[in-house]
Amino acid sequence: MNADFLALAQMAVGGGLMGMAYALMAYGFQLTYTAGKSVNFGQGELVMLGAFIGLSLTGIGLPYWAAVPGAMVAGAALGWFVERAAVRLALQQRNEGWILLTIIVGLFGVSAAENIWGRDDKPFPVPWPEGALEFFGISVTWPELVIAAGALGMMALVELAKRYTMLGIAVQAVSADPDSAELCGIRSKSAISLSWAVSGAAAAFAGTIIAPVTTVGPTMAAALTLKAFSVAVVAGLDSGFGLVLAGIALGSAENLSGFLLGSGWREAPGLILLILALALRPQGIFGKKIIRKV
């Protein structure tokens, strides 16, 4: 009985730590949504590309700590590109085609990854110590700890920048009232582009911290987008704290259902959460526009 309980607790903790990375990806949704009322439905693809780019950078001899910022710069460029090349054009036409466009750009990303890096999952080597730490009989590996600390640290860093730099306050002003922000001389389109770049960098960062645990492969992308979206919808898009809680809950639930019901059921909690949230309180959480089209 006690051993069973420990095994469950082990699963829940491992999943919860992973779930903080889901929260970080969902935070990327939150960033672009508050600034420009649009999100990247290819967020998981950016995570995957970030992981692959990080892997290639370590492959050419860069140490991990240098490969991560490299992948983030690439992620920022990709996020910026998706907004400039696809989303902005559709929004200028005042239609909701941007949703489909972000999905299409994401599919491009998957094809590109398959062509460049191949279809197979690859391990992502990291310099962290082997072995695990034990807390009350529950073991936690170093890569798992890095996921939790990295995800929370990155969210905290962006939030601080939003609150305590003039640029961040300007982005908040654009979210609050774009016309008024323009009248203050703030280029609201640039502020939205900036949010997409930061969101892309966060996604790439998430890729480089989860890849050591999950391995990297083109197929990871779609599942990650769905998980991040579930977390974002469940938590709502204005609560950073809610994202972390929802992320931990989803990560734990996944691991537990995979463990108790069989590995085929791992993805079930995310889908169920998403369906419940969309059915029970759609407008309150995400606004009608997106719900209608998804």
For residues 260 and 43, give the distance between their C-alpha atoms in angstroms, rounded to a whole number.
Answer: 29
- Asked whether 238 and 30 are in contact (CB, 8 A), the reply is yes
Q: Does 291 bind another protein (CB under 8 A)?
A: no
Nearest distance, CB of residue 14 and another protein, angstroms: 37
- Residue range at the interface with another protein (CB under 8 A); choices 7-15, 71-79, 138-146, 184-192: 184-192
- Asked whether 25 and 50 are in contact (CB, 8 A), the reply is no
For residues 127 and 143, give the distance between their C-alpha atoms in angstroms, rounded to a whole number.
Answer: 9
Q: Does 169 bind another protein (CB under 8 A)?
A: yes
For residues 234 and 215, give the distance between their C-alpha atoms in angstroms, rounded to a whole number.
Answer: 27
Nearest distance, CB of residue 160 and another protein, angstroms: 11
- Given 6, 116, 133, 167, the residue binding another protein (CB under 8 A): 167
- Given 120, 139, 160, 187, the residue binding another protein (CB under 8 A): 187
- Given 49, 186, 216, 250, the residue binding another protein (CB under 8 A): 186
- Given 92, 179, 263, 284, the residue binding another protein (CB under 8 A): 179
- Asked whether 170 and 186 are in contact (CB, 8 A), the reply is yes
> How far are the Cα atoms of 63, 88, 251, 286 from residue 99, in angstroms, in the given order?
37, 11, 26, 14
Q: Does 3 bind another protein (CB under 8 A)?
A: no
Q: Does 94 bind another protein (CB under 8 A)?
A: no
Q: Does 182 bind another protein (CB under 8 A)?
A: yes
Binding track, positions 202-231, relative to another protein; x by CB under 8 A = ------------------------------
- Given 4, 164, 279, 280, the residue binding another protein (CB under 8 A): 164
- Asked whether 52 and 286 are in contact (CB, 8 A), the reply is no
Nearer to another protein, 182 or 267 (CB): 182
DSSP assignment of 89-156 equals HHHHTTSSHHHHHHHHHHHHHHHHHHHHH-SS-B-----SPSSEEEETTEEEEHHHHHHHHHHHHHHH
Q: Does 183 bind another protein (CB under 8 A)?
A: yes
- Given 61, 129, 131, 185, the residue binding another protein (CB under 8 A): 185
Q: Does 197 bind another protein (CB under 8 A)?
A: no
H and E: helices and strands count for the chain? 14, 2
- Given 7, 116, 184, 261, the residue binding another protein (CB under 8 A): 184
Q: Does 180 bind another protein (CB under 8 A)?
A: yes
- Asked whether 246 and 234 are in contact (CB, 8 A), the reply is yes
Positions in the binding site for another protein (CB under 8 A): 164-167, 169-170, 172-173, 176-177, 179-188
